[in-house]
C-alpha cells in the first residue's frame, strides 16, 4: 500500500487524533495526539491490510523554541509482509512529558523507550522496566535535549570523582617491606 | 533420564532438612572476553539454569547523536566509523546513502559499484571476525587463526585503497574519496578466486563438527514471529526463516544490478545463524566479483556543494590553479559546510553485516542536521538477549552473545 493511502486510512479511523500529514521524498509522517497513541498503534499492528509487525525505530525529538508542544516521539513502522512503511509522530508537551508504552505490541520497543526516557526525560506509562540505559543511573539531566550543553554539565559526575579518588589511593599505596 | 523439576529434589535423593537450594546472582562482564566489548550481564541462576538475565549497556556511550547535531553533514562522517568499528565501511556507506537521499543527490554509476564492492568486503571482514571470535568463545581456537589470515588480506586491500585499515572514512556524500587502482582490482580479484576455497576450509572445521553441533543446535531458538516482534534484523532474522534483506527489498547503490541470493535459516537457533553468515560470505564474494567485472567507467563524484572534487581528476594544466582552489574549498567545506540543505525528515536503512542500520535525519534547512538518530542493530539485538538466554544454561549465554554478533561501540553509540 502507498504510504499516503495508509495515512489517509489512519485519518479516516481516528479523525480527532490525527493533527497533520506531511510528506517528504515519498516518506509520509502522521502527526497525532498522544492520548490514544496505543489505540492507533494497535490498529496499525492488528489490521490485516496494514499489518505493521515490525517497529523499526522509536526515538524522541526535542523542538525547543521551534514548536509547541516541545517533544515528539517518533515511531518508524514497517510491514515485513506487505513491505510498506509509515512514520507516526506523537506530540508530547513539556509540562507533562508522559506517553503510553507500546511494548505490549512490539517487544523491541522496550529498550528504545528506555533510551528515549534516558535522553529526553519522556516517561512511558506502563513500561515494564523504565530505567536509564546509556547514562549512569545517577546522572542528572537529559543529554539529548537541546538546552543541554554539548560539552556536558558544569558539575562533574560524582562517579567520575570516585574513580579518580580510587586511582589516587592506589598510587599512594605503600607495599610492606 | 527423568527430568528434574526446579527446586524439588527427586524422590530418591534425601536431602538433609538443614540444606536448601537457593538462586544465586552471577555478574558477567563488563570486562569479560566473551562479551565482545563492555557488556555486563547480571544472571540469576538456579543451578545451571538461567532464571533471569539483565543486560547493562552504556559503558561505551560517546554521544554520537548529540555530536552529529552539532557538526555539518560532511564532518559527521568520521563519527560513523566509530560506531561499528569492525565494519566501518558499511557504516560510512549507510550514512552517506542517508544523507544523499535527504539532499536529493545521486552518485555516479562508477561510485555506486565501488561502494557496493567495498561494502561487501566489509561484510566479509566482519563475518570473518565474527566467525573467529564466536568459535573461540565456544572453544574452537583453530578457526580464529585461519580467519585472521583472510581478514588480514582484506585489511591490506583497504589500506591500499584509502590508507586506513579500520576506520576508513572512504565513501563521500555523492561518491567516493578516490578512484580504485588497477592493482587494487587485480589483488581483490585474486582474493575472490581463492576465498570460496577458504570458506570450505572453515566449514570442514565447524559445520559437521560434533562438538560444534552440540553447542549450537537447538540453542537460543527464536521463532520467526517473535524475532520480528523483537525487531531483530540481518542474519539473526534470516536465521529464523524470515526473508528480509534491505539490499533486495529497497536496493541502494548498485545492489539492484548484481545477482545474489539471500540465505534463510529454518530453526532460528545459533547454528542456523552461523550457516546464514557462512553462506552470506560466499554471496558477498560473488557480488565483489560481479562489481569488478561490471565496473563502469566515468566520474567518481558528482559536482555538488556537499562533495569535494576528486584529487586526480583534473588535467595537469589546471593543477596549480586547482590546488589552491581545492584546499580553500576543502577548508571551508570541512569547517562550516554548505549553509543550506532541504528541509524535511527522512529515515534510510541500509543492510550492514549486523543487521539494519538506519539513519533518521530531521533537517531544519541549515547545514547541520537538527536531529540525527542512529538505529543501531546491535542495540536491538542486545535487548533481545534476555529472551534468548532465559531458560537456557550458563554456557549457552556465550553462544547466544556470539550468535547475535553485537559490537558495543554501535550499541552504545
Residue of B52, B53, B66, B234 for testing the chain A interface, max A β-carbons within 10 Å:
B66
Which residue of B70, B362, B375 is in closest CB contact with A150? B70
Mean pLDDT, to the nearest integer, of A60-80? 88
Is-contact B101 B346, C-beta < 8 A? yes
Q: Is the pLDDT at A33 greater than 70, yes or no? A: yes
Q: Rounded to a whole number, what is the distance in Å from the CA of B229 to chain A's nearest CA?
A: 5
Q: What is the pLDDT of residues B317-365, one digit of tens each?
A: 555 555 666 666 666 666 676 777 788 889 999 999 998 999 999 988 8
The pLDDT of residue B334: 66
pLDDT at position B2, please?
46
Whole-angstrom distance, CA of residue B264 vs CA of residue B244: 9
Print the domain residue range for A107.
3-173
**pLDDT confidence of B1, banded at 50, 70, 90?**
very low
**Mean of pLDDT values over B362-386:** 89
CA distance B409 to B168: 16
B263 vs B235: CA distance, rounded Å: 9
pLDDT at B311: 52
Give yes or no for a contact between B68 and B369, defined as CB atoms under 8 angstroms apart: yes
Predicted confidence at residue B32, as pLDDT, reads 72
Residue B4 has pLDDT above 50, yes or no: no
Which of A108, A110, A149 to mutate to test binding with chain B, by most B CBs within 10 Å of its CB? A108
Q: Give me the pLDDT at residue B409, please.
A: 86
Inter-chain CB proximity B226 and A111 less than 8 Å:
no
Residue B355 carries which DSSP code?
Answer: E
Q: Considering only CA atoms, which of B174, B196, B4, B186 is closest in space to residue B95? A: B174
Per-residue pLDDT, B93: 92
CATH topology classification for B64-411: Cytochrome-c3 Hydrogenase; chain B (1.10.645)
Would you call A56 and B61 a contact, using CB atoms and an 8 Å cutoff?
no
One DSSP character per residue, B362-411 reads EE-SBSSEEEEEEE-HHHHHHHTHHHHHTTSBHHHHHHHHHHHT--HHHH
Cα B210 from chain centroid (whole Å): 29
CA-wise closest residue to A51 among A106, A127, A109: A106
Question: Taking CB atoms and an 8 Å cutoff, what residues of chain B touch A136?
Answer: 58
Q: What is the pLDDT of residue B9?
A: 53
pLDDT digits (tens, 9 = 90+) for B28-82: 877 776 667 788 888 888 888 888 889 898 888 888 888 888 888 888 888 888 8
Provide the percentage of residues in chain B whose pLDDT is more than 70.
87
pLDDT at B135 over 80: yes
What whole-number distance in Å separates Cα of residue A82 and Cα of residue A55?
Answer: 14
Q: What is the pLDDT of residue B322?
A: 54
Q: Is B319 exposed, middle or buried (0-12, 13-18, 19+ CB in 10 A)?
A: exposed
- Give dist(CA B30, CA B39) in Å, integer: 5
The model's confidence at residue B15, banded by pLDDT at 50, 70 and 90, is low
Rounded to 5°, the CA angle B123-B243-B279 comes to 40
Cβ neighbours of residue B109 closer than 8 Å, sequence gap 6 or more: B254, B296, B298
Query: In terms of Cα–Cα distance, which of B245, B241, B239 is closest to B269?
Result: B239
More confident residue, B353 or A152: B353
Residue B362: list chain A partners with CB under 8 A: 61
Residue B22 or residue B213, greater confidence: B213
Contact indicator for B343, B312 with CB cutoff of 8 Å: no
Q: Region B154-173: what's the mean pLDDT?
A: 88
Helix then strand then coil, % of chain B, to nearest 5: 50, 15, 35
DSSP SS3 for B282: helix
What's the whole-number mean pLDDT along residues A129-137? 87
Q: Of B181 and B324, which is predicted with more confidence? A: B181
Cα atoms in the 13 Å half-sphere on the side-chain side of B411:
28
The answer to whether the beta carbons of residues B235 and B355 sit under 8 Å apart is yes
DSSP element (H, E) containing B126:
helix B109-138
Helix (H) or strand (E) holding A119: helix A109-120
Longest dimension (CA), chain A: 83
pLDDT value of residue B63: 86
Assess whether pLDDT exceeds 80 at residue B21: no
The pLDDT of residue A47 is above 70: yes
Residue numbers in B near A66 (CB within 8 A): 364
CB contact under 8 A, A111 and B383: yes
- For residue B120, the model assigns a pLDDT of 92
Cα of A105 to nearest chain B Cα, Å: 8
Overall pTM > 0.90: no
Q: Where are the domains of chain B?
A: 64-411
A68 close to B (CB below 8 A): no
Size of interface A-B (CB pairs under 8 A): 93
Q: Which residues contact B228 (CB under 8 A, 6 or more apart)?
A: A53, A54, A80, B237, B242
pLDDT at position B94, please? 92
CB neighbourhood size of B361 (10 A): 23
| pLDDT, position B113 | 92
Residue B320 CB coordination number (10 Å): 9
Q: How many domains does chain A divide into?
A: 1
**A34-38, A169-173, B130-134: range with highest mean pLDDT:** B130-134
| For range B233-258, the mean pLDDT | 88
Q: What is the pLDDT of residue B128?
A: 92
User: What's the CATH code of the domain at A13?
Assistant: 3.30.460.80
The pLDDT of residue B316 is: 55
Find where cell 522496566 sits: A129
Amino acid at each position: 500500500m502507498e504510504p499516503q493511502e495508509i495515512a489517509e486510512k489512519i485519518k479516516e479511523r481516528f479523525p480527532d487524533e490525527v493533527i497533520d500529514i506531511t510528506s517528504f521524498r515519498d516518506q509520509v509522517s502522521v502527526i497525532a495526539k498522544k492520548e490514544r497513541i496505543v489505540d492507533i498503534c494497535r490498529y496499525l499492528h492488528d489490521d490485516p491490510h496494514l499489518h505493521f509487525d515490525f517497529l523499526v525505530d522509536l526515538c524522541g525529538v526535542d523542538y525547543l523554541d521551534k514548536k509547541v508542544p516541545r517533544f515528539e516521539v517518533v515511531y518508524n513502522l514497517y510491514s515485513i509482509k506487505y513491505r510498506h512503511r509509515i512514520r507516526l509522530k506523537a506530540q508530547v508537551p513539556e509540562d507533562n512529558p508522559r506517553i503510553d508504552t507500546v511494548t505490549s505490541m512490539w517487544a523491541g520497543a522496550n529498550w528504545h523507550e528506555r533510551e528515549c526516557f534516558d535522553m529526553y526525560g519522556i516517561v512511558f506509562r506502563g513500561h515494564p522496566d523504565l530505567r536509564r540505559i546509556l547514562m549512569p543511573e545517577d546522572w542528572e539531566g537529559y543529554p539529548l535535549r537541546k538546552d543541554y550543553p554539548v560539552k556536558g554539565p558544569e558539575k562533574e559526575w560524582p562517579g567520575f570523582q570516585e574513580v579518580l579518588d580510587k586511582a589516587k589511593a592506589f598510587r599512594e599505596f605503600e607495599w610492606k617491606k | 533420564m527423568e527430568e528434574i523439576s526446579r527446586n524439588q529434589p527427586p524422590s530418591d535423593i534425601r536431602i538433609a532438612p538443614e540444606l536448601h537450594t537457593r538462586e544465586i546472582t552471577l555478574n558477567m562482564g563488563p570486562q569479560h572476553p566473551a562479551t565482545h566489548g563492555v557488556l555486563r550481564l547480571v544472571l540469576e541462576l538456579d543451578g545451571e539454569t538461567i532464571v533471569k538475565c539483565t543486560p547493562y549497556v552504556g559503558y561505551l556511550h560517546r554521544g554520537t547523536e548529540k555530536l552529529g547535531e552539532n557538526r555539518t553533514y560532511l564532518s559527521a562522517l568520521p563519527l560513523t566509523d566509530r560506531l561499528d568499528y569492525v565494519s566501518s565501511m558499511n557504516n560510512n556507506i549507510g550514512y552517506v546513502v542517508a544523507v544523499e537521499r535527504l539532499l536529493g543527490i545521486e552518485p555516479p554509476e562508477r561510485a555506486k559499484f565501488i561502494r557496493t564492492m567495498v561494502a561487501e568486503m566489509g561484510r566479509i571482514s566482519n563475518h570473518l571476525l565474527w566467525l573467529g571470535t564466536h568459535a573461540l568463545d565456544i572453544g574452537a581456537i583453530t578457526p580464529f587463526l585461519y580467519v585472521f589470515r583472510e581478514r588480514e588480506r582484506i585489511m591490506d586491500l583497504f589500506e591500499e585503497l584509502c590508507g586506513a585499515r579500520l576506520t576508513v572514512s572512504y565513501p563521500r556524500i555523492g561518491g567516493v574519496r578516490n578512484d580504485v587502482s588497477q592493482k587494487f582490482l587485480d589483488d581483490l580479484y585474486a582474493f575472490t578466486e581463492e576465498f570460496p576455497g577458504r570458506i570450505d576450509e572453515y566449514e570442514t572445521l565447524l559445520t559437521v563438527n560434533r562438538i560444534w553441533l552440540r553447542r549450537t543446535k537447538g540453542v537460543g531458538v527464536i521463532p520467526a514471529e517473535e524475532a520480528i516482534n523483537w525487531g531483530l534484523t540481518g542474519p539473526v532474522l534470516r536465521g529464523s526463516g524470515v526473508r528480509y534483506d534491505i539490499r533486495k527489498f529497497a536496493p541502494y547503490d548498485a545492489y539492484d544490478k548484481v545477482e545474489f541470493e539471500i540465505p534463510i535459516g529454518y530453526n532460528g537457533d545459533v547454528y542456523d545463524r552461523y550457516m546464514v553468515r557462512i553462506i552470506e560470505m560466499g554471496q558477498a564474494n560473488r557480488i565483489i566479483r560481479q562489481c569488478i567485472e561490471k565496473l563502469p567507467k566515468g566520474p567518481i563524484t558528482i559536482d555538488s556543494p556537499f562533495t569535494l572534487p576528486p584529487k586526480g581528476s583534473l588535467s595537469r594544466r589546471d593543477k596549480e590553479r586547482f590546488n589552491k582552489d581545492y584546499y580553500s574549498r576543502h577548508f571551508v567545506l570541512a569547517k562550516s559546510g554548505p549553509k543550506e540543505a532541504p528541509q524535511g525528515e527522512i529515515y534510510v536503512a541500509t543492510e550492514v553485516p549486523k543487521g539494519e542500520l538506519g539513519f533518521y535525519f530531521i533537517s531544519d534547512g541549515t547545514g547541520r542536521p537538527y536531529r540525527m538518530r542512529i538505529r543501531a542493530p546491535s542495540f536491538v539485538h542486545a535487548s533481545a538477549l534476555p529472551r534468548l538466554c532465559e531458560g537456557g544454561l550458563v554456557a549457552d549465554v556465550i553462544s547466544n552473545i556470539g550468535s547475535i554478533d553485537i559490537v558495543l561501540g554501535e550499541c552504545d553509540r
